[in-house]
Structure 1
Amino acid sequence: MHAITIPEPGGPEALVWTEVPDPVPGEGEVLVEVVAAAVNRADVLQRQGFYEPPPGASPYPGLECSGRITALGPGVSGWAVGDEVCALLSGGGYAERVAVPVGQLLPVPDGVDLATAAALPEVVCTVWSNVFMVSHLRPGETLLVHGGASGIGTMAIQLAKAVGARVAVTAGAPDKLARCAELGADILIDYREQDFVEEIRKATDGAGADVILDIVGAKYLDRNVQALALSGRLAVIGMQGGVKGELNLAALMAKRAAVTATSLRARPLEEKAAIVAAVREHVWPLISAGRVRPVVDQELPLSDAAAAHRALDAGTHVGKILLRA
C-alpha cells in the first residue's frame, strides 16, 4: 500500500507519499481501507519530530479516519467485512489501509457521508472525555473554549449547547468568531484585541467560566485560573503556547478549582474503548438527529498531505481539514 511517511522531521515537505508494507490485523483488530483521514495538530508535532507515536503504534501520522472494513483479525466479533466505519487511531491514518482495535471503531452516524465521518473520532472523543467525563460540564454552566474555530472548538461549541450550557469562545479573526456564533457560541472574544479574563468576567457578572477547554497551555495558565469561577475546572489539552508555566496555588485554592491535563493518543486500549463507547452512547444520537455536525473546511488528496499541513499552519481554516484517499 501507499502511506505518508516522515523520513526526516521538518516542514510540510517532510511528508513523503511512498509504498510501504501492508498492515496485518492482530488479535482484536480489523483492517480498514481508508476513504478519508483528518488532519490534527498532533500530526504537525509528529512531522516536526516532537511527538513520537506510542510503542506499537503505526509510524505514519493520522489519528482518525473513515473507511470500510476489509478483514477481521482473530477474536473479532460484532463487525463484518464491508462495514462502513470511522475510527480513533494511535497513528496510521495517512495511509491506504490501517489496522484498528475494535474498541476504537464507530459506525458512521446517520446523516453523515463516509468521507466526512473522518472528521469526527478524534475531536469528539477529545471533547467528550475532557469537557464531560473529566470536567463534568452541566446544563446552565459556562464553558470557555480557546480556539473556538478549530476542529476541537467547533465540536465543543455544539456539544456544550446540546446539553444546555452557555459557551464563550476565543478566536483571532472576526470571520472566525462569526462562524462560532453560527454554531451557537454566546460570547465572542477576539483574543488579539480583547483580554479574555476581563471579557468572561463581564459576560458572567464577575463569576467566571465553570469549565475552560484550553489548547494553548503554559502561556494561558495563570490567566485561565483567573478566568475560572468558584469550583471551576480547567482542562488543558494542548501546548501551542509552551509547556512550562507558573501556577498560583493560592488563587487555585481560593476558587476551590481544579486543573487537569490529558492526552488521548497514548492511553491504554481499555481507556480509549471506554471513551469511544461513551461517545457512541451520548454523541452519536445528537449527530444522527442533526443537532451536532462535523465542520469541514476543505478536502485535499491524501498523497498531498503537505498541502494540508501548509493550510493548517496558515491558520485560516475553520473546523477540520480532510485528506481523501
Structure 2
Amino acid sequence: MKAYVYGANGAAITDVAKPSPTGTQVLVRVRANGLNRADLGMTRGHVHGSAGGAGTVLGMEWSGEVAELGPDARGVEVGDRVMGSGAAAFAEYTLADHGRLFKIPAASNMSFEQAATLPIALTTMHNALMTNGALQPGQSVLIQGASSGVGLMALQIAKLKGAKTVIGSSTNAERRGRLREFGADLAIDSKDAGWVDEVLKATHGNGVDLIVDQISGPVANQNLQATKVLGRIVNVGRLGGTHGDFNFDLHAARRISYIGVTFRTRSVQEIRNIFDAVRADIWPAVEAGTLKLPIDKVYPFAEIGAAFDRMDANQHLGKIVVTQ
C-alpha cells in the first residue's frame, strides 16, 4: 500500500506492507487525513513520543471506513464510517485501538474531509478545558494559540460549556480578526507587550480562571500575570519553545495550578477514557454541527508534500486536509 514515510532523503510517498489488526485493533481504509503541527516536525525527522525517525509512516489523524476487526475489537463493524487518531495515519490503511475512534454521525451528512479535522481537536481540547482545566460556567478562559485548528475548537468548546469571557490569542492580524467567529469575546496578540493589561481589563483586574497554553516559552511569565489567584494553566503545546524563564515566586504567590498534558505518555486506557468523555459530554454538539472546524485547503494524497509546505508557511486558518 502507499504511505507517506520518513526516510534517508526526507518524507516521501512509498510502498509499505498493509498492516493487520490484532487484539482490540481496527483496520481502517483511510479516506482523509488532517495535518497537525507535530506531523510537520516529523517530516523533518523529529521524534514525537515513541514515533518518528527513519522508516516511520507519518500522520496521526484520519477518517475512513472500517475494513477489518481484530479478534477483541468491539463497538464497531466492518463498513462503519469512522474518524480517529493514532500513529501511521498517512497511508491507505491504518490501525487504531477500538477505543480511539468515533463513528461519523450518520444523520449529519459529514464528509470524510470534515471528519478528518475533528478527532485531535476534540479530544485534546475537551481534556484540557474540562478534565484538567475544570472549566465551570461563568468562568473566564484564555486560549493561547487560538487560530490553530485545536485552538479554534477550544474557543468553541469553552463557549459551549458556558464560559462567560473567552479570549483567544494570535500573532497574525487577519486570523486574530476572525477569532470572534469561533466564540472569542476578545482577541489579543501574544507578541504585544500590553496583552496582559488587556486580559486584566477584560476580567476586572482579576485575571482569567483558566489559560490553555499552546505557546509556552516566551509567554510563561505573562501567563502567570494574566491568571487569577487560584487559577489554572494547562500546558498543551510549546509552539514558542520548550524552554523559557519562569517566575516561581509569582507562581506561588498567585497559587496557580500549572498542569502539563500530552498524549505521548498516556496509556491506551487513558486515551480511551478521553474519547469516552468527549462522547458523553459534547458529542451531541458534534452531531448538530455546532462544533466544527473550517477547512483551509484540501490536497490529494499525491500532493501531501505541498500540503505541508502550506502548513510550514503558517498562513492558514483551520485545518489542511489530504484525501485518498
Q: Normalised by the shorter chain, which TM-score bucket?
A: over 0.9
- Residue 232 of structure 2 is aligned to residue 236 of structure 1: no
Q: Deviation digits for residues 116-136 of structure 1, max 9, x if unmatched?
A: 101111111110111110011
Contact kept, 8 Å, 1:53 with 1:59, in 2: the verdict is no
Residue matched to 1:38: 34
Q: 1:94–1:56: structure 2 CA closer, same or farther, 3 Å change rule?
A: closer
Residue matched to 2:316: 317
- The within-5 A match list for 1:160-199 is 160-165=158-163, 166-193=165-192, 195-199=194-198
| Deviation at residue 55 of structure 1 after TM alignment | 6.5
Q: Deviation digits for residues 67-120 of structure 1, max 9, x if unmatched?
A: 00000111122211100000121x111111001110101111342222210111
- Residue 106 of structure 2 is aligned to residue 127 of structure 1: no
Three-state SS of the structure 2 residue aligned to 1:48 is: coil
Residue matched to 1:270: 269
- Residue 16 of structure 2 is aligned to residue 17 of structure 1: no
- The within-5 A match list for 1:82-231 is 82-89=79-86, 91-109=87-105, 110-111=107-108, 112-165=110-163, 166-193=165-192, 195-231=194-230
Q: Deviation digits for residues 237-258 of structure 1, max 9, x if unmatched?
A: 1122221223222211221211
TM-score normalised by structure 2 residue count? 0.94
Among 57, 64, 81, which residue is 1:60 paired with?
57
The one-letter code of the counterpart of 1:41 is R
Question: Between Structure 1 and Structure 2, how many residues are aligned?
Answer: 320
Three-state SS of the structure 2 residue aligned to 1:263 is: coil
**1:282 & 1:294 partners in 2: Cα distance?**
18
- What is the RMSD computed on CA atoms of the aligned residues? 1.8
**2:306 & 2:51 partners in 1: Cα distance?**
28
Contact kept, 8 Å, 1:38 with 1:64, in 2: the verdict is yes
Contact kept, 8 Å, 1:170 with 1:196, in 2: the verdict is no
Contact kept, 8 Å, 2:188 with 2:195, in 1: the verdict is yes
Contact kept, 8 Å, 1:231 with 1:256, in 2: the verdict is yes
Higher relative contact order (CA 8 A, sep 6+): 1
Q: Deviation digits for residues 31-81 of structure 1, max 9, x if unmatched?
A: 000000111011112122222452799932211100000001111222111
Residue matched to 1:261: 260
Q: Deviation digits for residues 135-171 of structure 1, max 9, x if unmatched?
A: 1111111111112111011100110000111210111
Among 37, 43, 46, which residue is 1:47 paired with?
43
Contact kept, 8 Å, 1:215 with 1:237, in 2: the verdict is yes
Three-state SS of the structure 2 residue aligned to 1:210 is: strand
In structure 1, list runs of 5 or more residues that go unmatched: none
Q: 1:53–1:2: structure 2 CA closer, same or farther, 3 Å change rule?
A: farther
TM-score normalised by structure 1 residue count? 0.94
